[in-house]
Structure 1
Amino acid sequence: MTMYTDTNNRLTALPHFGTDPGSLSADIYVPKNFPKNGPLVVVLHGSTQSPADYDLGSGWSMLADECGIALLFPGQRLINNMIGSFNWFKTGDSQRGEGEPLSIRQMIKQVVDDHAIDPSRVFITGMSSGGAMTSVMLATYPEVFAGGAIIAGLAYGSASNMIEAVMRMNGIGSPSDNRLDALVQDASDFDGPWPTISVWQGGSDTTVASSNAGSIVAQWQKIHDVEGEPTRVETVDGFPRKVWCAADGRVMIEEYIIEAMGHGTPIGAEGDKGLGEAGDYMLEVGISSTRHIANFWGLTQADAAIADEPKTAA
């Protein structure tokens, strides 16, 4: 197992952020070039990881330096979960106004207030249990986020206990598409505009079955009025990207399936635009999900066209 040391930690603790009913930790990174009314990205680590681990592997703070992005890293405590997973499947930690989701919402408010962040440019991403908790946050607090990116995660409400969670992770017994849609619709009183959705998944993942990516896409298709087959399929950095576009051409949902990849976050650490560092669940496959997610959200400049411009047809 790759071990990261404290010398790699670029993050600073956020000591106070409301009542914290989920008993989480919080770290932040605000680069020196962060502009007033700049964007915030919330980054959720996976099981057995710390915020510093995930930042080092994914390269988010490197990209923050490059593009002027503030970062918030919620952290799980072992007292809440013995392997450091977010409790996305527990009823008390998957509802609006309760547990871990409310703690994360309180952190976001604190950082937005402290650093003059544009509240219309708050985004969230996570991997594995962090990806599943990203689904929870997008469903329960959709008004907070302009977009979300779910990596090796699961659809919101797909499990309500540990046994169901293990079954869903293995691709067994997912709710119907209509039920998945209703779960999000019923999670809050929000009626749009909804956050855009980016889905990343390893096709050879034996921890979270790749069928979960399809469930996540299905959960958001009706909400975004983009049901059916993708609008187009492109090739980006050698990998297929499916996109579902609104009537005006805006991409509302994108999906990357990295066929030969196992369980983890896709990184591309090499080259001038490389980010991150390979390690446990941080998988060097030649494409940086971090950079492409930021592109999708319009947080980079030269590369932002990826969100709207087709590449090579697959």
Structure 2
Amino acid sequence: MNPDFQRLMHDATRLVRSGDLAAATATIQAALAGSDTVPSPAPVPPCPGDIVIDVEAREVGEPASERKLLQDLGATYRTAEGEFVSGRSGDGRAERDYRLYVPPQAGERPLPLVVMLHGCTQDPDDFAAGTRMNEAARALGCFVLYPAQSRQANPQGCWNWFKHSHQQRGRGEASMLAAMTRHVMARHDIDPARVYVAGLSAGGAMAAILGAAYPDLYAAVGVHSGLASGAAKDLPTALAAMRSGRTGATSGAHGVPTIVFHGDADGTVHPDNGQHVIRASAGGVDGSPRAHRHQSAGRRNCTQHVHRSSTGDVLAEHWVVHGSGHAWSGGSSKGTYTDPSGPDATQEMLRFFLEHPRRAC
């Protein structure tokens, strides 16, 4: 590491600890510019708790070890690609690590936030790589939050969607994830009417729970290869629902707009669970949805079922991907549990989300 850079970063650390954020910002700017002279302190940025350093992309050339120093300081510096930072949050009873994608448009105006819940054995970095959600969010100007399940809470890294103690508002992991969402919202310029949650498999099941428990927080829900809220109360009923598609979920719940992706060759979570998610989450959908068949050369065929309310509003979409297994449709092979040949679930979920801001009461 460059000794001047190291010295300046050491000084910046000391300034952060002393509370002099303006001087710390100026010192980090000098380090990035390769100068020994610290410029006049820059104004403290508007987001409380963050040091935001705006530099042109061509000026950022530090090695990964130096970028890690910036992240350890809590600094977010913006490039043309945005930034992927780490944090930790919870509800006072439980905490989890997270990764947060901050788009280059951050600070210009309030932006949407998408909470992405990984599946079993995955982690935030793997899930981000496989879904390519950060790349899609950069183009549309969205924050993306990736909570990380701990192996102490579940040895396989699964969200505990199947335990009754994690399925209700104010309890367990549902409470912790909602608190983490609010934590990020309080520290960044996020539009509270455009906060969404999505997930894969166990993460999809937990996303459905969050939509049911916190309809005042999440404007819409995306469930990929998951199960409905209330599908199980313990491990035996969870395994039965996954294998047979028979669940304890009830219909006509909270009416939060929901988009579902599920492969009809899924051997891990029975495809019938996709329809249960629609019935339990959206509620009030029409019994005869309009079906659209999508065919593309070199891609998997799929059928999109569009459910509307009695007034014609789209309440839910159910995408059945023909021939696909237990994998994120249209994902990248850089991540696990992906099907690159399927329709792009990431793009379709973002499109659906942005069409459904939360309505004022």
Q: Per the shorter chain, which TM-score range? A: 0.7 to 0.9
Which residue does the alignment assign to 2:99?
Answer: 27
Residue correspondence of structure 1 range 72-83 to structure 2 within 5 A? 72-83=145-156
Matched, 1:280 2:336: yes
Question: Using the alignment, how far apart are the partners of 1:173 and 1:208 within structure 2?
Answer: 11
| Aligned residues of 2:225 and 2:261 also touching (Cα < 8 A) | yes
Question: Using the alignment, how far apart are the partners of 2:243 and 2:94 within structure 1?
Answer: 27
Q: Structure 1's 286 and 158: CA in aligned 2 closer, same or farther, altered over 3 A?
A: closer
Residue correspondence of structure 1 range 38-53 to structure 2 within 5 A? 38-53=111-126
Matched, 1:244 2:307: yes
Question: Using the alignment, how far apart are the partners of 2:309 and 2:245 within structure 1?
Answer: 31
Which residue does the alignment assign to 1:206?
Answer: 267
Q: Which blocks of at least 5 consecutive residues in structure 1 are unaligned? A: 1-5, 186-193, 269-275, 300-314
Q: Secondary structure at the match of 1:71?
A: strand
Q: Which blocks of at least 5 consecutive residues in structure 2 are unaligned? A: 1-63, 69-82, 356-361
Question: Using the alignment, how far apart are the partners of 2:295 and 2:310 within structure 1?
Answer: 23
Question: Using the alignment, how far apart are the partners of 2:264 and 2:103 within structure 1?
Answer: 35
Q: TM-score with structure 2 length normalisation?
A: 0.70
Give RMSD over aligned pairs: 2.3
| Aligned residues of 2:103 and 2:137 also touching (Cα < 8 A) | yes
Q: Secondary structure at the match of 1:56?
A: helix
Q: Secondary structure at the match of 2:170?
A: coil
Matched, 1:132 2:195: no
Q: Structure 1's 291 and 172: CA in aligned 2 closer, same or farther, altered over 3 A?
A: closer
| Aligned residues of 2:196 and 2:221 also touching (Cα < 8 A) | yes
Question: Using the alignment, how far apart are the partners of 1:134 and 1:23 within structure 2?
Answer: 18
Residue among 250, 255, 270 paired with 1:180:
250
Q: TM-score with structure 1 length normalisation?
A: 0.80
Matched, 1:230 2:289: yes
Question: Using the alignment, how far apart are the partners of 1:261 and 1:234 within structure 2?
Answer: 15
Question: Using the alignment, how far apart are the partners of 1:64 and 1:201 within structure 2?
Answer: 22
Point out which structure has higher relative CO (alpha carbons under 8 A, 6+ apart): 1
Q: Structure 1's 16 and 127: CA in aligned 2 closer, same or farther, altered over 3 A?
A: closer
Which residue does the alignment assign to 1:89?
Answer: 162
Shift of residue 195, structure 1, vs aligned partner: 2.1
Q: Structure 1's 197 and 141: CA in aligned 2 closer, same or farther, altered over 3 A?
A: same
Matched, 1:297 2:337: no
Which residue does the alignment assign to 1:98?
Answer: 171
The amino acid of 2:281's aligned partner reads W
Question: Using the alignment, how far apart are the partners of 2:94 and 2:232 within structure 1?
Answer: 19
The amino acid of 2:208's aligned partner reads S
| Aligned residues of 2:245 and 2:271 also touching (Cα < 8 A) | no
Question: Using the alignment, how far apart are the partners of 1:129 and 1:278 within structure 2?
Answer: 20
Shift of residue 181, structure 1, vs aligned partner: 2.3
Q: Structure 1's 181 and 73: CA in aligned 2 closer, same or farther, altered over 3 A?
A: same
Tell me whether 35-44 or 237-246 shows the greater mean CA deviation: 237-246
Q: Secondary structure at the match of 2:162?
A: coil
Question: Using the alignment, how far apart are the partners of 1:81 and 1:125 within structure 2?
Answer: 20
Question: Using the alignment, how far apart are the partners of 1:22 and 1:248 within structure 2?
Answer: 42
Between structure 1 and structure 2, the one with the greater Rg is: 2
| Aligned residues of 1:242 and 1:256 also touching (Cα < 8 A) | yes
Residue among 208, 215, 219 paired with 2:276:
215
Q: Secondary structure at the match of 1:25?
A: strand
The amino acid of 2:185's aligned partner reads V
Percent identity over paired residues? 28
| Aligned residues of 1:278 and 1:284 also touching (Cα < 8 A) | no
